[in-house]
Amino acid sequence: MSVRAEQKLRTRRTLMNAALAQLSAERGFGSLSLREVAREAGIAPTSFYRHFSDLDELGLALVDEGGVALRQLMRQARKRIARKDDGVISTSVDTFLEYLANNANLFRLMLRERTGVSKQFRNAVRAEIDHFATELADDLVRFSEERNRPLSSPRLVAEAMVTLVFNQGAEALDATPENREQLREKLKTELRMILMGSQLMAHQSPQRAR
């Protein structure tokens, strides 16, 4: 990669970091202006357009980054589970909360834009959630087969789990350390209940199991 290309990537990264740095519990992406993002990044507003066509394109890049980062962490969690035979739910929840601690503003962005006014953003977040649910459903099928514990409708189980994780994640963002630990244990219990319910349904209706 040429020096110029590397510099362009660094500036693009700086702009994304500048936008993230201005997000908070009180301030969403929709309130940002191109000028203040450029100022935070230390570049002229006109230079912004060398990297993004507008703020929406920058925001969509952040949504993509948030989804990719979460899926990569969960893949690492699967490797830990496979090596140590750790509890699937326990390890997954711990990994998700690790992601939350290191990517709070990325997750805030995804949460807000999931139900925001921009259809483009809603579709982008929905796509990231769908990717996550698809990988989780594949994991559930594989783990259920390895342990000979069939599941009923693993895709629906994955979607229910993802919805629960995102909702609890929203609560955990600004929780105190003590409350976050309570949420951690609550989330693990709720996910186990979903999983056990699916296993029970599969036992009662074997034709629906996988």
Q: List, in order of start, the domains of the chain with CATH numbers.
A: 1-52 (1.10.10.60), 55-208 (1.10.357.10)
Q: Which residues contact 191 (CB under 8 A, 6 or more apart)?
A: 89, 92, 93, 161, 164, 165
Confidence band for 89, pLDDT divided at 50, 70 and 90: confident
pTM: 0.84
> Does the pLDDT value for residue 58 go beyond 60?
yes
pLDDT at 164 > cutoff 80: yes
Q: Please write down the HEC assignment for all residues of 103-147.
A: CHHHHHHHHHHHCCCCHHHHHHHHHHHHHHHHHHHHHHHHHHHHC
- Rounded to an integer, the average pLDDT of 34-54 is 94
Average predicted confidence (pLDDT) for the chain = 89
pLDDT tens-digit readout, 186-200: 999 999 999 999 999
The mean pLDDT value for 111-137 works out to 90
Q: Of all residues in the chain, what percent carry a pLDDT higher than 90?
A: 61
Give the distance from CA 162 to its chain's centroid: 9
